[in-house]
Structure 1
Amino acid sequence: MRELRFLLSPRWVGFAVFVVALSGVCIQLGIWQFHKLEDRQVRNELVREHLAEDPVPLEDVVPDGSAVKPEQEWTVVSASGTFDVEHQVTVKYISRDGRPGVDVLTPLMLDDGTALLVDRGFLETLRTNAQPDDIPEPPSGTVDVSGWIRVDSSATGQAIRVNDGQVRAISSKGIAEHVPYELRDGYLNLQEQTPATEGIDAEPRPDLGQGPHFFYGLQWWFFAALAIVGYGWFARAERQERRKVAARAARADVAADREVTPTR
């Protein structure tokens, strides 16, 4: 045990405190990733249930004046109305399968005078900041639509305000300043439309994979173990070096004794 007394020195005590703190942080980050995995699994199961159900009327999910609840997201809803192309906007900086483009947002005027934002889908464009001028027109008359109801983006400020006919994130609250009528909360990812419109790609089904959270959690725990193992490795190396120093000192003392001791 005397060989390990160096571990009580200020330098090694500080090192030990650092290792314990680092390991604790890594363990907590690993737990956080596993909690995110659990949340994603719960969300995926809810999405699967919603997507397997038949469309329900919009009023049954988002009545006028109510907000889309997180547990309602991805519910398949149906609605009828007329598209308001005059107040149509695009969502810029969208990429799908490596292709640059925009999402086309068109308000759908409902019978009660309110409107629902409809994400009609993806339109491939050049890599430019300007709004495209070749957006396929929707039918001019009454249309029947169905798709997934979505909650507004959590973005704020300029990201959700219309600028030159474009936004960076979809929010009915931000676009409400752009239209002269009341917008329903959230928006609809269009999947089916009668009559149909060609030239716009509908939103693909959501990714229901588990994501990287499991491996990220293991990675953080590996870092915690690595920090502890590293402490032990450095302590062992220090002890071995001290042994070598002590052995050299002992040999030097023996040699010195031989030099001063007279031979008979």
Structure 2
Amino acid sequence: MYRFLLTRQWVILTLVALVLIPTMIRLGIWQMHRYEERAARNQLVTDALSADPVPVEKLTSPGHTVTSGERYHAVTAKGRFDTDREVVVRRRTNSDDEVGYHVLTPFVLADGKVLLVNRGWIPANGPSQTAFPTIPAPPRGETTVTGRLMPDETTEASGIKNLKGLPDRQVMLVNSAQQAERLDAQVLGGYIAQTAPEPKGDVPELIGRPGKEDSALNYAYAIQWWLFAAAVPVGWLVLVRRELRDRRAGTSGRSAEDTTPAAV
């Protein structure tokens, strides 16, 4: 009765099932790895945001590359804003997806080193974005600034092209190495997204806290793939039993016809 399993149709069906099972198991494992990676990144963000602020030079220095463990960590710095050498970062959006600029202001520390401070978002003066916008001034004189430490932006990491020939005092990326060359100064690696002091008016609009990645979806997908993998052999068995039942019913029907007396 099981000889039908050797037919072409059933051999193909069985081979497909044997391929699907390990494929779905691997897809589930891949999704679980994605879940663990995102959960780990979320934990790094949580730890950094909940950590007490530290002096910025404890975490970064000229030429330093900000690590994933240092990213978003709250830092403080004492010095003065150098608005004469301030630039704006083009094509940046606020929480309402409006296009404008980020204000990038050098912050000169007591020892002469420079910390790049992203003071927040301002709207563009016009659609062309060719003229340098009007920017509210930061506090004058010596002040203490607090912010979240961020790594340098690169085209590879952000997807933003570092265009040349931009209008004066406009840049595409926040990059300490590029700014060190422009300023001819020792610039600490990375930059900070300012959180305090808050601006007196509505602008610059401070950059909001970073969101967390949705890792729960990857966990659900992993379970889903494994359920699919378990369903394949169950479905194959159901089809085999149905085929057996149909064949037995067909055999019984033919046997009954053979034993029925011919009509006179």
Distance in 1 separating the partners of 2:111 and 2:175? 21
CA shift at 1:186, angstroms?
0.5
State the Cα deviation string for residues 81-118 of structure 1 (Å, max 9, x = none): 23244451314242413433332222223444432211
The match for 1:123 is 122
Question: Normalized against structure 2, the TM-score is what?
Answer: 0.75
Query: Secondary structure of 2:37's match?
Result: helix
Q: How far apart are the structure 1 equivalents of 2:188 and 2:106? A: 10
* Inter-CA distance 218–97: structure 2 relative to 1 (3 Å threshold): same
TM value normalised by structure 1:
0.75
Residues 106-163 of structure 1 show CA distances to partners (whole Å, capped at 9, x for unaligned) of: 2223444432211010123489563564331434853422222222235439836364
Number of residue-to-residue matches in the alignment: 256
Percent sequence identity over matched residues?
A: 17
Residue 23 to residue 198, structure 1, CA distance change in 2 (3 Å)? closer
Matched to 1:166, the amino acid is: V
Is the 1:162–1:175 contact (alpha carbons within 8 Å) kept by the matching residues of 2? no
1:240 corresponds to: 242
Q: Distance in 2 between matches of 1:7 and 1:154?
A: 59
Match of 2:27 in 1: 26
In 2, are the aligned partners of 1:37 and 1:214 still within 8 Å (CA)? no
Structure 1 residues 64 and 212: CA distance shift in structure 2, 3 A: closer
> 1:61 aligns to what?
59
| Structure 1 segment 97-176 matched on structure 2, within 5 A | 97-125=96-124, 128=127, 130=129, 133-139=132-138, 141-144=140-143, 145-153=145-153, 155-156=155-156, 159=160, 161=162, 163=164, 164=166, 165-167=170-172, 169-176=173-180
Of the three residues 68, 71, 81, the one matched with 2:69 is 71
Q: Give the gaps of 5 or more residues in structure 1.
A: none
Specify whether residues 148 and 252 from structure 1 end up closer, same or farther in structure 2 by C-alpha distance, changes over 3 A only. same
* Letter aligned with residue 68 of structure 1: V
CA 1:26–1:69 in 2, change beyond 3 Å: closer, same or farther?
closer
Looking at structure 2, the residues matched to 83 and 192 of structure 1 have their Cα atoms a distance apart, in angstroms, of 17
> Cα deviations across residues 227-258 of structure 1 (Å, max 9, x unaligned)?
33144225413541453255335524653x46
Which residue type is aligned with residue 219 of structure 2?
G
Report if the CA contact (8 A) 1:136-1:197 is conserved: no
Question: What is the alpha-carbon distance in structure 1 between the residues aligned to residue 17 and residue 114 of structure 2?
Answer: 62
* Residue 200 (1) aligns with residue 204 (2): yes
Question: Higher mean Cα deviation, 180-189 or 32-41?
Answer: 32-41
Residue 95 of structure 2 corresponds to 96
Q: In structure 2, how many angstroms separate the alpha carbons of the residues matched to 1:86 and 1:258?
A: 105
Q: Secondary structure at the match of 1:183?
A: coil
1:150 maps to a residue whose letter is M
Q: Secondary structure at the match of 1:101?
A: strand
Shift of 1:30: 3.3
Query: Which residues of structure 2 form unaligned runs of 5+?
Result: none
SS state at 1:106 partner: strand
219, 222, 234: which one aligns with 2:221: 219
Change in Cα spacing, 1:102 to 1:89, as seen in structure 2 (3 Å) is closer
Relative distance call for 1:78 and 1:140 in structure 2 (3 A) is closer
State the one-letter code of the partner of 2:150.
Answer: R
Q: Is the 2:92–2:100 Cα contact (8 Å) retained in structure 1?
A: yes
Aligned residue type for 2:226:
A
Give the 3-state SS of the residue equivalent to 2:188 in structure 1.
strand
